Amino acid sequence: MVLPRPKSSIKSAISHLRESAGLPHGCPTSFRKLAGMNTTPAETPRLSLAHALRIKAAEYWLQQGQAQEALQELAKLPETVWSNQRVTRARVAAMGILRQRNEIVMFR
């Protein structure tokens, strides 16, 4: 048997939802409208096939332990793609490998 929760916890849950959505405490926005709001970060744009292949090539170079080649592959990508999560992960991994070897080479 499930006991109903007191109304005070429901009010605090709604208040917590409003605060996490960035709305002021006394905001008149209804709970139903809050449930439909997009509070997640914006998605990164889809990659073209050529860009995805270049990122996959960089990941392959990293698997082979060739961080310099991975960075060269990533440097060929346009700046609009640099914010993609896979690109960022590959770049950070390559830079970390090169820092360990003290062989970092700056691009641009």
Percent of the chain with pLDDT over 70: 53
pLDDT of residue 27: 53
Pick the more confident residue, 42 or 88: 88
pLDDT of residue 54: 95
Could you identify the residue written with the tokens 């691009």? 107
What residue segments make up the domains of the chain, in order of their start?
A: 7-36, 49-101
pLDDT in tens, 24-69: 555 555 555 555 555 455 556 678 999 999 999 999 999 999 999 9
pLDDT of residue 101: 81
Q: 15 with 9: CB under 8 angstroms?
A: no
- Average pLDDT of 1-30? 56
Dist. CA 91–CA 32, nearest whole Å: 41
Sign of CA dihedral 13, 18, 24, 28: negative
Pick the more confident residue, 14 or 31: 14
